[in-house]
Structure 1
């Protein structure tokens, strides 16, 4: 699966006020592994207007710095070719999508959803996972112990890199154990399951975990404890299991 973590910086918060995109970054991830930097896209853009004071304080990209950068029309083909058919991962997707759609429609190029396979909004997902808590990118980095010390100002590329780590933490463990099996293997497993349900079996043989396996299991639980900032569910079940044994 090809996914693109995407972020933009803009001249202001409201697209309705004529604000424009001045920086765009897209970081490629294939099968949950980040690609090498040469497979990332990062462009500064001349927005053809000044930034609002509040936005300038956030991203620090002055009109003078952006004056000799290409306009959106000059980078649009590179951008669309890079994201084409991928799934976008965006924190607060309606904001970035609104600006992307505005820029594309100005050029008669439709909407961003015409080019990608789907869009994941990590802010929406975070609010469902952590209701009532702060779910900004900074807050999520702190929650998942993602190092953001290099982030002094908002920048599209560093925000993409941070969001990639946050997204992997948020979705850890969601993959099915059989997700990579070929259809024939899945069918064979189902047939074996049906056979086991209709065939008389002897006593089950219990194979105890080795000391090395138990050590690896404890290390994994330590990682889960760190993620949830407490004890994971398995830890709470362990005493009951010991008692039953």
Structure 2
């Protein structure tokens, strides 16, 4: 008799989700919540493996920007203050709908590169999702300076990570290569905005879509019925 080479059962089939995201992107936090809700409603939610990838919306930002989020967006987008405030009110309301408490008045505008390096360290130590959550919350809800290394080390310590090792690694320039590789990969894939989700390398979803969009995509990919990418 021939050896049994049956394919894995539906219960055993794993689905990989690669997420390109910036911790300074308000829609990325909203998208994270909606994606998580979509996964929760997916029949095989326990088989979804998430891989976070770095992306920078504005690499030119200084480590610490001397101005508010409204002032920064007004300058960057060339919009009037009133229009910017309407945008921020809209995204705040969308965030609230996902249980998030955005505080743009106290948000510290900062370059996200060092925070993304800290995220890379956390990923390599099994705490990527926890660190992603902590960084997004620190930036959008808690008014913490995510461009400040000491603040980032404190967040890492709260997750039980080795802050002495992380401090040494950051000083040596570690994890910059990995962050830049993610950014380059996004460019190669034609990703120009985040959040961007790639399910099993087959199905791409751009933006903070409703939870049911993610659930439906996971179901389609799992069943092998992929309609688009």
Task: Please indicate the TM-score interval, normalised by the length of the shorter structure.
Answer: under 0.3
Larger Rg: 1
Q: Of the two structures, which has the highest relative contact order with CA contacts closer than 8 Å and spacing of 6 or more?
A: 2
Using structure 2 for the length normalisation, give the TM-score.
Answer: 0.27
